[in-house]
Amino acid sequence: MEFLNSLELPRLPPHNLKLKVGSVVIMLRNINQPQLCNGTRLVVKKMQDEATIIKGKYKEEDVLIPRTPMIPTDLPFDFKHLQFPVRLAFEMTINKSQCQWLEVCGINLEFPCFAHGKLYVVCSRVGNPSSLFIYAPQNKTKNIVFQKTLN
């Protein structure tokens, strides 16, 4: 039991989800499309299961988030995890940031991590350039370009 609880899998929420009212979370599953989709950002309203949508067509709507059975498929054994399909949204991947509009965005370029076009995607999530903060050692990063696509 202790081993299963210690697993941190990318597509699953943590076993011990530490939240408080006002925390910003992101949905990890499609629950009620188009309202509650993978990537929807919410603010926790009640500690049991209620949140408010932050952005988009359903902005400021209160929603109930049910606990969902999650069964990982990339492990050598099977188990079912019953949990709220959310994770704290202090950070998100570039792919999760697509279709998001952020008021403030910080980008960590300590390690080259971009495939072709990803640097543009992450920098374009903020409307105002003064709200974009970039950390890059020596003020440089690599934007990986596939030379075959340019020929």
pLDDT along the chain (151 residues), means of 10: 76 77 86 84 84 84 86 78 81 70 80 68 82 84 66 65
From residue 14, give the alpha-carbon distance in Å to each of 18, 56, 99.
9, 26, 25
Contact between residue 17 and residue 84 where contact means Cβ atoms under 8 Å apart: yes
Give the Cα separation of 22 and 100 in Å (integer): 19
**pTM summary value:** 0.60
